[in-house]
Amino acid sequence: MEISVTQDVFRLAQAFTISRGSRTEAKVLTVRIRDGAHEGRGECVPYARYDETMDSVTAQIENLPSDVTRAGLYYMLAPGAARNAVDCALWDLEAKQAGKRAWELAGLPAPLPEITAYTLSLDTPEKMQAQASKHAHRPLLKIKLGTPDDMPRLEAVRTGAPKARIIIDANEGWSAEVYADLAPHLVRLGVELVEQPLPAAEDDALIGLDRPLPICADESCHDRASLPKLKGKYDMINVKLDKAGGLTEALALRREGLALGYDVMVGCMVGSSLAMAPATILAQGVRVTDLDGPLLLAEDREHALVFDDKGVHAPDVRLWG
């Protein structure tokens, strides 16, 4: 087989801001694995939060043997962006070789549409209210927060979208004291869950803390090895392909998380439809689907995922799987 990796850039429809900074484009890596007759593709988003760069992840992929398999890949690379792109490309290749869809290979039914959250990036209360009003027709809004001055933003979003379901992602931006102070107000405003309120390295502070609404582990949960450290702190886990290191591990993480009593959210980095396509399999029946990456782009892949009032649909075979 031949493995190649390219760097691709997709313009965002508008600047996207979280508590760690802003961006105006999505930089991704595209992996292609060819066997001569077929080509499998996968996409990943190297993430500085996890000490990943475009160059470092490219080097990891380029150093793999050409005869790599999904089973062998698990032991060659740690969980992360590099393993994700290669794992998903191998799923795509295997599906093409077998003349089947990827979910058939996984022994799963064809994915049905899933309602996805739509993310409002961090901004002034006035601008966030305007964003909320523009997207008030969407059934589920995700708000990026994580500063000491978040209440006016949350109040503004609720004013702008009075009927939408709301979830919050603090991106590790709060302290235990800030969360405890905000929690009753989150409940009052109908927030359904809060994602990663505290830094992952400091989340022991959640033990014994009142949780009047579910807390979801994101930066604290990568793969199955993360699960023992979450006990007593979190009610949900956010499963992302780039964190878990591919669809193979993500399916196993979802299965084990559910068995341990955690609700599951399936999330994403900001990438193209190729990055989201494998996650449509993962998202079936979970409590929250957050696969809005393509909706934030000004441009996307050919044969892009379909988003409509039923949700995000399974990928066209020409895109993936």
Task: Report the phi/psi class of residue 3: left, alpha or beta, with left for phi > 0 and alpha for psi in -120 to 50.
Answer: beta
Closest by CA to 254, choosing from 241, 269, 244, 264, is 264
Rounded Cα distance between 223 and 279, Å, is 15
Active-site residue numbers? 144, 240
Exposure of 124 in the CB half-sphere (CA atoms within 13 A): 2
Q: Sign of dihedral through CA atoms 22, 283, 246, 320?
A: negative
Backbone φ and ψ for 16, nearest 5 degrees, come out as -115, 125
Q: Which residues have C-beta within 8 Å of that of residue 40, sequence separation ≥ 6?
A: 32, 33, 34, 89, 90, 91, 92, 93, 94, 95, 96
Angle among Cα 8, 13, 17 to the nearest 5 degrees reads 90
